[in-house]
Amino acid sequence: MRRARASVIGAFALHAAVAGTLGPRLPAVKEQAEITDGELGVALAVFAVGLFVGTRIVSPLLDRLGTRGVLRGGMPLLGVSLLGPAFAESLPSLAAALFVVGALSGILDVAMNSNAVVVERSYGRPIMSSIHGTWSAGMLVASGGAAAAAALDVSLRLHFGLAALAIALVSAPALGHLAAAADAPQQLPAVRTRGYLLARPVLLLGIIGFCSFLGEGAAIDWSAVYVDESLDASRGAAALAFVAFSVGITASRFLVDRIAARLGPVPVVRWGATLAAAGLALGLAVPETGVAIAGFALLGAGLAPVVPTVFSAAGNMRARSGRSALAAVVTISYLGSILGPALIGFVTSLVGLRAALGIPVLLALLAARLAAQVASAPGGRHG
């Protein structure tokens, strides 16, 4: 299973490279498309709708190809999809391009998390946060490159074209040893979730994931825009806000598994979400570039364990709902990605981006309040 773990880690890293490439260049994408903040919110909402659609249409693909086939075939396509935003010159073309990126991301997200749950189960201890940590590391590397590209004013088409080529070339060797056991019918969490979405344990886990996804999406979609426009910083400094978030979430995820094994998942989620709320609140309360960058770093560090622990808890639920819980929780969680960009964009048009970013602060506090629901994750005996 070591090689299987390495391959699923590769899937997470490549998936993240797309987000890390796109996020810091959103100010340039917005400028090229000649759209407002509110219109960017609409385009990002379409991206999130694509994510949601991807999670709902993945079932027949998994039935036919398994997680290995979906990941090996879909990952190069996800890289190539970056070319859409690079060539978008209007709101409709940008929205269409982001929908494609989102749909492919959603399909691959369910496939790689399904594979990762089986790998974690074989280890018999918490490893999901470190697996998700490689997603954060991939985003960090890609966002660092994107920050450099922004500072050097590299064109979107050249930057995204090189990123697409790199992802396509690396996919085959990186995904060569994905766990075959994850494709067995008794192991693969079902994606058909009718009847489970409203089950109380599933719904509450989904709400925690919703809160975290909205907070992560706020950082990915709006951190660079906030520092660039609200604080009047340079493009390079604005991109650093995204990088700081990536550093925070990456470092935290590689530490969290050991902490969860010692303390249990419940305290980790509770205190992590509280730290996220406090960090972002500080960054918004003090209108200084350095403080804002630090606030996004703390937001990342605090949110880091939330989604991995929620997905692990769902994948390890007992009884009849266990096989369907993961896909149901992913579906509910992604609603945060769908509603978040549109909600923040709408509130921004009314009261400004600083006030709109208070929404993730409140939702992080809600996630902390509901932390007891993750006790079914590995190590939950401590919680």
Domains of the chain: 2-178+189-382 (1.20.1250.20)
Q: Is the pLDDT of residue 157 over 80?
A: yes
- pLDDT score, position 247: 86
Q: Which of 187-191, 305-309, 360-364 has the lowest mean pLDDT?
A: 187-191
Q: Where is pLDDT greater, at 23 or 379?
A: 23
Task: Specify the pLDDT at position 158.
Answer: 95
Judged against a pLDDT cut of 70, whether residue 148 lies above it is answered with yes
Question: Rounded mean pLDDT of 304-330?
Answer: 75
Judge whether residue 270 has pLDDT over 60: yes
| Average pLDDT for 305-334 | 76
How far, in Å, are 80, 157, 260 from residue 171 at the CA level? 12, 21, 31
Any idea how long the chain is?
383
Averaged confidence pLDDT in the chain: 86
Q: Average the pLDDT over 338-359 and give the result.
A: 86
Q: Is the pLDDT higher at 98 or at 1?
A: 98
Find the mean pLDDT for residues 326-337. 82
Confidence of residue 24 (pLDDT cuts 50, 70, 90): confident
Express each pLDDT in 173-207 by its tens digit.
Answer: 999 888 876 565 444 444 344 455 567 888 999 99
Each residue's pLDDT tens digit, 41-96: 889 888 888 988 888 888 788 878 888 999 999 999 999 999 999 999 999 999 99
- CA–CA separation, 286 vs 233, rounded Å? 14
pLDDT at 380: 55
From the number of C-beta atoms within 10 Å of its C-beta (0-12, 13-18, 19+), residue 64 rates as: exposed
The pLDDT, as a whole number, for residue 48 is 80
In this predicted structure, the answer to whether residue 136 has a pLDDT above a threshold of 90 is: no
pTM over cut 0.95: no
At CA 311, angle to CA 183 and CA 344, rounded to 5? 125
Q: Exposed, middle or buried: residue 165 (CB in 10 Å: 0-12, 13-18, 19+)?
A: middle
- Residue, of 150 and 188, whose pLDDT is higher: 150
Instruction: Categorize the per-residue pLDDT at 147 as very low, low, confident or very high, splitting at 50, 70 and 90.
Output: confident
Q: Which of 85-94, 167-176, 222-231, 312-321 has the lowest mean pLDDT?
A: 312-321
| pLDDT value for 83 | 95
pLDDT per position as a tens digit, 282-300: 999 988 889 999 999 999 9
Number of neighbouring beta carbons within 10 Å of residue 2: 9
pLDDT of amino acid 191: 37
Round to whole Å and give the CA distance between 209 and 197.
13
